[in-house]
């Protein structure tokens, strides 16, 4: 089994997600980048489950549940930001900086 | 390790990475969401190859089927306008910083790869793929399971409260 190769794919996907979070300004795409990072971590869990037993699969399922909760709350925040500013641009969220 | 297995593995890996790159460079949120669905399908193929068919099915059902639908639904709900009017990238300084952080992170993560991992053979096919996961989930990880249900309840209430229209703003 190519556990090392799966870990490399996971590392690359995670880095793509991090760079996306740091460079994009659209809040919805930012949340999708976070989902991509969670998916990359899930791939590591499944790869390591080959070595350490089925607990990794359980953790993947729990991570998916938390991701669903995070997406629901995050998108509710995006909706309320859009109601307030009329855009999903993160540059608008500077009220606390003054 | 048959050549066929190896070929399929790298095919799904390349699909996942290519779709992720296309996802992160799209400007329109809808096309980004659809490329992300593509990443998730490729990842579920990888899960099958790593002896996790149940996780692969849950990945397609929950991630590609439910979470991404919520994303696309919110994009449709918000009426964001044309893609060329959308905010795209942060200013140049943030982009350079992100590039540096990305390179450092990738180097860090690839350094882990210098560890050699033992070669584990494919498990023989079993009839019941859910049973081992369920046994572990409901005995060893029961506390985490129950806590997850509380988190879901709180998230539902929080999402409703946050997205509700306020009478006075």
Average pLDDT over residues A42-59: 89
Q: A97 in a domain, yes or no?
A: no
Task: Kindly state the DSSP code that residue B50 receives in the 8-state scheme.
Answer: T
Kindly state the percentage of chain A with pLDDT values over 70.
97
Give the pLDDT confidence score for residue A53 in this predicted structure: 82
Cross-chain Cβ contact B102/A18 below 8 Å? yes
A54 at interface of B, judged by CB pairs closer than 8 A: yes
CB A64 within 8 Å of CB B62: yes
Bridge partners (DSSP) listed for residue A26: A89
Task: Look up the CATH number of the domain holding residue A37.
Answer: 1.10.287.3510
Q: Measured between beta carbons, which residues in chain B are less than 8 angstroms from residue A69?
A: 151-152, 154-155
Nearest one of A35, A1, A5 to B14, comparing CA atoms? A5
Residues B53 and B83 in one domain: yes
Residues B117 and B132 in one domain: no
State ipTM. Answer: 0.89
Alpha carbon of B111: minimum distance to chain A alpha carbons (Å): 10
Residues B119 and B146 in one domain: no
Which segments of chain B have a pLDDT < 70? 1, 83-87, 113, 122-123, 125, 167-169
Residues B35 and B92 in one domain: yes
Q: Which domain holds residue A42?
A: 3-87
What DSSP line would sit under A13-27, residue for residue? HHHHHHHHHHHB-BH
Q: A27 in a domain, yes or no?
A: yes
Give the pLDDT confidence score for residue A54 in this predicted structure: 86
Residues B83 and B99 in one domain: yes
Residues B120 and B105 in one domain: yes
- B90 or A74, higher pLDDT: A74
Residues B73 and B92 in one domain: yes
Substitution target in A61, A66, A78 with the highest count of B β-carbons within 10 Å is A61
What is the total count of domains within chain A?
1
Give the pLDDT confidence score for residue B95 in this predicted structure: 80
Task: Look up the CATH number of the domain holding residue B69.
Answer: 1.20.120.1200
What is the total count of domains within chain B?
2
Q: A45 in a domain, yes or no?
A: yes
Residues B68 and B17 in one domain: yes
Q: A80 in a domain, yes or no?
A: yes
With tokens 């879901």, the residue in question is B152
Give the pLDDT confidence score for residue B93 in this predicted structure: 77
Q: A83 in a domain, yes or no?
A: yes
Residues B134 and B112 in one domain: no
**B73: enclosing H helix or E strand:** helix B68-78
pLDDT tens-digit series, residues B79-118: 777 766 666 777 777 788 888 888 888 888 778 767 777 7
Query: Residue A1 — pLDDT band, cuts 50, 70, 90?
Result: low
pLDDT tens-digit series, residues A29-48: 889 999 999 999 999 999 98
Instruction: Decide if pLDDT at A49 tops 80.
Output: yes
Residues B100 and B157 in one domain: no
Cross-chain Cβ contact B117/A4 below 8 Å? yes
Cross-chain Cβ contact A24/B13 below 8 Å? no
**Residues within 8 A of B (CB atoms), A 29-48 only:** 29, 31-33, 35-36, 39, 42-43, 46-47
Q: What angle do CA B153, A93, A19 make, to 5 degrees?
A: 80
Residues B67 and B83 in one domain: yes
Give the pLDDT confidence score for residue B23 in this predicted structure: 92
A93 at interface of B, judged by CB pairs closer than 8 A: no
Average pLDDT over residues A66-88: 87
Give the pLDDT confidence score for residue A52 in this predicted structure: 84
Instruction: Give the Å distances, CA to CA, from B7 to A13, B28, B48.
Output: 20, 33, 14
Q: A92 in a domain, yes or no?
A: no
Q: Which domain holds residue B136?
A: 128-169
Residues B104 and B155 in one domain: no
């Amino acid at each position: 089994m190519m556990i090392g190769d799966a870990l490399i794919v996971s590392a690359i996907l995670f880095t793509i997600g991090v760079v996306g979070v740091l460079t994009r300004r659209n809040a919805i795409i930012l949340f999708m980048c976070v989902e991509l990072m969670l998916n990359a971590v899930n791939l590591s869990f499944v790869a390591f489950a080959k070595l350490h037993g089925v607990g990794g699969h359980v953790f993947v399922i729990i991570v998916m549940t938390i991701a669903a909760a995070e997406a629901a709350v995050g998108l509710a925040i995006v909706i309320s930001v859009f109601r307030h500013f009329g855009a999903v641009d993160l540059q608008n969220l500077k009220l606390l900086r003054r | 390790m048959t050549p066929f297995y190896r070929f399929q593995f790298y095919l799904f890996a390349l699909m996942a990475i290519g779709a992720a790159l296309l996802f992160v460079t799209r400007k329109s949120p809808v096309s980004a969401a659809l490329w992300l669905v593509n990443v998730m399908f490729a990842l579920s193929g990888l899960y099958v190859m790593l002896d996790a068919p149940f996780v692969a099915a849950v990945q397609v059902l929950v991630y590609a089927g439910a979470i991404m639908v919520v994303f696309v639904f919110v994009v449709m709900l918000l009426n964001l306008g044309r893609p060329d009017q959308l905010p795209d990238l942060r200013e140049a300084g943030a982009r350079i910083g992100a590039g540096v952080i990305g390179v450092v992170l990738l180097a860090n993560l690839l350094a882990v790869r210098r560890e050699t991992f033992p070669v584990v053979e494919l498990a023989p096919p079993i009839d019941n793929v859910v049973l081992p996961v369920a046994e572990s989930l409901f005995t060893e990880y029961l506390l985490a399971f129950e806590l997850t249900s509380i988190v879901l309840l709180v998230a539902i209430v929080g999402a409703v409260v946050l997205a509700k229209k306020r009478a006075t703003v």
